[in-house]
Amino acid sequence: DQQVKQNSPSLSVQEGRISILNCDYTNSMFDYFLWYKKYPAEGPTFLISISSIKDKNEDGRFTVFLNKSAKHLSLHIVPSQPGDSAVYFCAASASNTGNQFYFGTGTSLTVIP
């Protein structure tokens, strides 16, 4: 049972434009969400997080939006750069399950120069 879903396996965006990566979850108990970025032959690295008490968190070119009623979050990258080309994983956890995170299947982003 996939509790965190990323329905777009891949996304291509022109350099300088906005990249929007989407993530849906089914467990209403999830209260903390993270995005990880993964390059080939490397492990995922933490990118940005958001708590359920917020609906937006910004860090430079990266912004995460959370819509709790829709159980949906999105990652916006503006402007997109070729170095952003990677696989992006969405992850979620519920505070009453300790630190166990559930991951989506990932979206492969390609930024075209």
Partner 1 sequence: DSGVTQTPKHLITATGQRVTLRCSPRSGDLSVYWYQQSLDQGLQFLIQYYNGEERAKGNILERFSAQQFPDLHSELNLSSLELGDSALYFCASNNPHNPYGYTFGSGTRLTVV
Residue 36 CB contacts under 8 Å (≥ 6 apart), including other chains:
44, 45, 46, 47, 88, 89, 91, 103
Least distance (Å) between residue 4 CB and partner 1: 7
| Residue pair 98/44 in contact by the 8 Å Cβ criterion | no
- Which of 46, 112 has the CB closer to partner 1? 46
By CB under 8 A, residue 44 contacts partner 1: yes
Q: Which residues bind partner 1 (CB under 8 A)?
A: 2, 4, 6, 9, 32, 34, 36, 41-46, 49, 89, 91, 93, 97-106
